[in-house]
Chain A
Amino acid sequence: MIIYLVIFLAVLVLWVISVYNFFVSSRTRIKASIQEIGNQLKRQADLIPNLEESVKGYLGHEKGIFEELTNARKAISQASKSGDVGKMADAGKMLSEVLPKIQVVVESNPELKGAEVVTNLMDELRDTSDKVMYARRLLIDLTADFNVKRVTFPSSLVANLFKISEQEGLNAPEKGEHLEVSESDTKTPKVNL
Chain B
Amino acid sequence: MIVMLNIYEAERANKIKSIIVVAGFIVFVGLTVYVLSQALGYYWGYQVGGLGGVGLALIISGLISYGGYYFSDRIVLTISGAKEANRKEYFDFYTVSENLAIGAGLPKPKLYVIDDSAPNAFATGRDPKHAVICATTGLIDKLSRTELEGVLAHELSHVRNYDTRLQSLVAVMVGLIALLGDWLLRARLWGGRDRDRNDNQLGSIILVLGIVFAILSPIIAQLIQLAISRRREFMADTGSVALTRQPGGLISALEKISKDTEPLEVANKATAHLYIINPFKGVNDPEHRRGVDRFASLFNTHPPIEERLKALYDMSYEKPHKG
Question: What residues of B have a CB within 8 angstroms of the CB of A135 in the complex?
Answer: 102-103
8 closest residue pairs by CB, A with B: A134-B103, A134-B102, A127-B95, A134-B99, A137-B103, A130-B99, A138-B105, A131-B99
Contact between chains at B102 and A138 (CB < 8 Å): yes
> How many chain B residues touch the partner (CB < 8 A)?
12
Q: B102 near A36 (CB under 8 angstroms)?
A: yes
The answer to whether A123 has its CB under 8 Å from any CB of chain B is: yes
The answer, yes or no, to whether B91 is at the interface (CB within 8 Å) is: yes
A141 to B95, CA, bound (A): 21
**B311 is an interface residue with CB less than 8 A from chain A:** no
Q: Does A59 contact B (CB under 8 A)?
A: no
Cross-chain contact of A138 among B96, B98, B104, B245 (Cβ < 8 A)? B104
Q: List 17 A-B contacts (CB under 8 A).
A: A29-B105, A33-B105, A123-B91, A127-B95, A130-B95, A130-B99, A131-B98, A131-B99, A131-B102, A133-B99, A134-B99, A134-B100, A134-B103, A137-B103, A137-B245, A138-B102, A138-B103
Q: Inside 8 A of B105's CB, which chain A residues have their CB?
A: 29, 33, 138, 141-142
Smallest CB–CB gap between A33 and chain B, Å? 7
- In the complex the two chains form, is B104's CB within 8 Å of A127's CB? no
A130: chain B residues within 8 A (beta carbon): 95-96, 99
Q: Mark A113-124, 1 if CB is under 8 A from B, else 0.
A: 000000000010
Q: Which residues of B contact A133 (CB under 8 A)?
A: 99
1/0 per residue, CB under 8 A from A, across B82-100: the answer is 0000000001000110111
| A-contact bits for B243-257, CB 8 A (1 contact / 0 none) | 101000000000000
Residue from B99, B100, B243 within 8 A of A127 (CB atoms) = B99
Nearest residue (CB) in B for A134 is B103
> Which residues of A90-146 are within 8 A (CB) of B?
123, 127, 130-131, 133-135, 137-138, 141-142
Q: Which residues of B contact A29 (CB under 8 A)?
A: 105
Residues of A within 8 A of B98 (CB): 131
Q: Which chain B residues lie closer than 8 Å to A127 at the CB level?
A: 91, 95, 99
**For the complex, what is the distance from the CA of A138 to the CA of B104, rounded to whole Å?**
6
Interface centre among B91, B100, B103, B104 (most CB of A within 10 A): B103
Contacts of A137 in B (CB 8 A): 103, 243, 245
Nearest Cβ on chain B to A117's Cβ, whole angstroms = 13
Across-interface contacts of B103 in A (CB, < 8 A): 134-135, 137-138
Q: How far is the CA of A138 from the CA of B95 in the complex (A)?
A: 17
A120 to chain B, nearest CB (A): 8
B residues 1-44 touching A (CB-CB < 8 Å): none
Q: State the Cβ distance, A26 to closest chain B Cβ, in Å.
A: 10
Q: In the assembly, what is the distance between CA of A113 and CA of B99, in Å?
A: 26
**Whole-angstrom distance between the alpha carbons of A64 and B98 in the complex?**
33
Give, as a whole number of angstroms, the nearest-CB distance from A170 to chain B: 14
B96 partner residues in chain A, CB cutoff 8 A: 130
Q: Closest residue of chain A to B95, judged by CB?
A: A127
Cα(A127)–Cα(B98), bound, Å: 10
Q: How far is the CB of A126 from chain B (nearest CB, A)?
A: 9
Which residue on A lies nearest to B98, using beta carbons? A131
In the complex formed, the residue of B with least CB distance to A123 is B91
Contacts of B95 in A (CB 8 A): 127, 130
Cα distance, A141 to B242, chains bound together (Å)? 10
Please give, as numbers and ranges, the residues of chain A lying within 8 Å of B104 by CB-CB distance. Answer: 138
A40 to B105, CA, bound (A): 14
Min CB gap A127→B, angstroms: 5
Contacts of B102 on A, CB cut-off 8 Å? 36, 40, 131, 134-135, 138
> With the chains together, A145 CA to B127 CA distance in Å?
22
CA distance A143 to B243 in the complex (A): 15
In the bound assembly, the distance between CA atoms of A130 and B104 in angstroms comes to: 13
- CA A43 to CA B234, docked complex, whole Å: 36
Q: Which B residues lie within 8 Å of A40 (CB)? A: 102
0/1 string, B31-66, CB within 8 A of A gives 1: 000000000000000000000000000000000000
Alpha-carbon separation in the docked complex, A73 to B123 (Å):
38
Query: What are the interface flags for A132-173 relative to B under an 8 Å C-beta threshold, 1 for contact and 0 otherwise?
Result: 011101100110000000000000000000000000000000
In angstroms, Cα B95 to Cα A97, docked, is 22
- State A138–B91 Cα separation when bound (angstroms): 23
